[in-house]
Amino acid sequence: MILPIVAYGSPVLRKVCDEITSGYPELNSLIADMWETMYNSNGVGLAAPQINVPIRLFVMDSEQIFENQEEDEKDDYPDAPGFKGVFINAHIVALNGREWAYNEGCLSIPKIREDIMRNEEVTLEFEDENLNTHTKTFNGITARVILHEYDHIEGKLFIDYLKPLKRKLMKRKLDDISKGKIKVDYRMVFPK
């Protein structure tokens, strides 16, 4: 089932999310709905708070970034051909490598894209969809998508990395998003 994406300004996007326990109801169907919602919205990642569920869960698929690259771009990232996975109860173990800029966007903050600095490598401890525990290191564009989605389960947004002046300049656009004065080709819910 395709779920509506929660818009900027909704309190759930600023909440540090709760751990998921093994008896979490309908977890598999929630994950399936998140995949369907993410692909329907042309996203490469989706965190549970973006569908108004404040739990430590996100899905991401950087494989589609590589599939859609031009031939001359394919050698730019060390993580080709990408990674697709479910991350439950993720916690960062280490951030490594230099910080690098990449133009990021967010389904909850449509029509706004900015260059954001992030580390080139992240090591995470997390559980997969079968609640098996992993500790794994990711790099390149995959690490970036993971860090973006990880921020969501920590109540943080990519615009939080911008300098205050830049955020002030986009205040009207952000206000329009939170008031529902925006057109997108996927379903959204706006703060009351």
Smallest CA-to-CA distance from 108 within 162, 39, 167, 189 is with 189
Q: Active site residue: 67, 73, 149, 154, which one? A: 149
Q: How far is CA 131 from CA 23, 85, 107, 179, in A?
A: 11, 12, 27, 38
Query: Could you confirm whether 99 is annotated as catalytic?
Result: no
Smallest CA-to-CA distance from 150 within 113, 114, 118 is with 118
Residues marked as catalytic: 149
